[in-house]
Amino acid sequence: MSDLEKTEFALPEGFGRPDDSPVGLTVLPEERDVEKSLRPKSINEFIGQPKVREQLNLVLAGARRRGVTPDHILLSGPPGLGKTTMAMIIAQELGTSLRMTSGPALERAGDLAAMLSNLMEGDVLFIDEIHRIARPAEEMLYMAMEDFRIDVIVGKGPGATSIPLEIPPFTLVGATTRAGMLTGPLRDRFGFTAQMEFYSVEDLTKVVTRAASILGVSIEPDAAVEIASRSRGTPRIANRLLRRVRDWADVNGNGHVDLAAARSALAVFDVDELGLDRLDRAVLDSLIRGHGGGPVGVNTLAIAVGEEPGTVEEVCEPYLVRAGLMARTGRGRVATASAWHHLGMTPPPDAPGQLDLF
């Protein structure tokens, strides 16, 4: 089994949404191969994220000119926006190999030492979910990132000795859905942080069209736009919705996806016009019907919808905020006037509107 597969299984239980949700962000085992086939292989093939692409191109080209390994790179952003894909592309562009692991898999410093001591010069070490790395491994990582050296402790108790070990120069690529949870010293050791943003409908339309051509789905342009606009700004969801729409078209028609097929399929799977799924709507519902629009704490909301607070915070909220439906304030989460309208209700006069937020 490759390290990549280990990484993706290493996410803690309860991470993501219920598996029956088409918008859920948990990568299901049967989906792994499809995702692999859909991953862009080069920076030019990577759709959207113009800023990140430009910055990365510079970082990589600069290092190439100077003949050194690039600075360590942190990829930050909500699930499904292409962090793992980008890490693979970085190694590809550098012409080096990629070693993959994840924060939760590095429980002991020894786990990391084993990974580091196997690196070859110039390799890219990818640590997914780097904010979940255990403390002792994190401390070892500081030294490795800064001095390409680690101290390996041999033995236990008073007889324990520390043996210095040189590590060949490498580039660490860390990915995180929670940049705020990284400790200061770790964050400071990255030379460059790429902030991945939600995708525009236009870019997601390209993602859907590209995936359709790879998967051999015949699709009308307006159907691709429809799927894109309901994908919560997220390529993983766009690809997933495309496959559900294809299922619908295969079963109810001749497999050709037109606008009517896309709309009917998305209705069956409970994805509304804004791309919100049941969990998003449950959060808004609890915020508005249960708490008069807030402010209310994320823990209270999570309990009300039966989810982990981390899931509500990492998966639901970024998109609700970006869609202008929710605001995070010092006192808690607040529903905007648009959120009230979205649930078909009249907002109270003091509900914040779009303009108050930006």
Q: Any catalytic annotation for residue 281? A: no
Instruction: Write each residue from 154 to 193 as x if it is in contact with ligand ATP (CB under 6 A), else as -, in one continuous string.
Output: ---------------------x-x----------------
**Number of residues this chain uses to bind ligand ATP (CB under 6 A):** 21
CB under 5 to 8 A by kind: which of ligand ATP, Mg ion, none does 235 bind?
Answer: ligand ATP
Residues between 76 and 95 with contacts to ligand ATP, criterion CB under 6 A: 79-85
Strands 149-154 and 161-166: antiparallel
39 is in an annotated binding site: yes
Could you report how far apart the first and last alpha carbons of the chain are, in Å? 47
Q: Any catalytic annotation for residue 236? A: yes
300 is in an annotated binding site: no
DSSP per-residue codes, 259-276: HHHHHHHHHHTT--TT--
In terms of CB distance, is 207 or 320 closer to ligand ATP?
207
CB under 5 to 8 A by kind: which of ligand ATP, Mg ion, none does 171 bind?
Answer: none
- 281 by Cβ neighbours in 10 Å (0-12 / 13-18 / 19+) ranks as middle
Q: Any catalytic annotation for residue 83? A: yes
User: Minimal distance in Å, beta carbon 45 to ligand ATP?
Assistant: 7
In terms of CB distance, is 83 or 278 closer to Mg ion?
83
Select from 196, 148, 152, 151 the least CA-distant residue to 174.
Answer: 196
Which candidate in 96, 177, 311, 336 is catalytic? Answer: 177
Strand partners, 194: 75
Which candidate in 3, 128, 203, 277 is catalytic? Answer: 128
Which candidate in 3, 7, 69, 83 is catalytic? Answer: 83
Among the listed ranges 45-53, 285-293, 295-303, 318-326, the one in contact with ligand ATP (CB under 6 A) is: 45-53
CB under 5 to 8 A by kind: which of ligand ATP, Mg ion, none does 82 bind?
Answer: ligand ATP
User: Minimal distance in Å, beta carbon 138 to Mg ion?
Assistant: 20
CB under 5 to 8 A by kind: which of Mg ion, ligand ATP, none does 333 bind?
Answer: none
Q: What is the dihedral of CA 260, 262, 264, 267, to 10 degrees?
A: -140
Tokens of 289: 């019907």
Q: Are 20 and 141 in contact (CB under 8 A)?
A: no
207 binds ligand ATP (CB under 6 A): yes
87's CB contacts (< 8 A; 6+ apart) are 75, 98, 100, 124, 126, 128, 173, 175
147 is in an annotated binding site: yes
Q: Any catalytic annotation for residue 244? A: no
Residues between 47 and 106 with contacts to Mg ion, criterion CB under 5 A: 83-84
Within the chain, residue ranges assigned H as helices are: 3-9, 32-38, 50-66, 83-94, 109-117, 135-147, 184-188, 201-215, 221-229, 235-252, 259-268, 278-285, 298-305, 309-311, 317-322, 337-342, 354-357
Strands 171-176 and 124-128: parallel
User: What's the farthest any 2 CA atoms get from each other in the chain?
Assistant: 74
Q: Any catalytic annotation for residue 246? A: no
239 binds ligand ATP (CB under 6 A): yes
Give the span between the Cα atoms of 121 and 242, in whole angstroms.
41
Give the span between the Cα atoms of 284 and 215, in whole angstroms.
35
Angle at Cα 75 formed by Cα 101 and Cα 27, nearest 5°? 55
Among the listed ranges 43-51, 187-195, 216-224, 283-291, the one in contact with ligand ATP (CB under 6 A) is: 43-51
Strand partners, 333: 296, 328
Q: Are 215 and 246 in contact (CB under 8 A)?
A: yes
Among the listed ranges 46-54, 98-106, 216-224, 263-271, the one in contact with ligand ATP (CB under 6 A) is: 46-54
318 binds ligand ATP (CB under 6 A): no
User: Minimal distance in Å, beta carbon 110 to ligand ATP?
Assistant: 25
- The residue ranges that bind Mg ion (CB under 5 A) are 83-84
List residues forming the annotated binding site for Mg(2+).
84
Catalytic residues: 83-84, 128, 177, 236
- The residue ranges that bind ligand ATP (CB under 6 A) are 25, 35, 38-40, 46-48, 79-85, 175, 177, 207, 235-236, 239
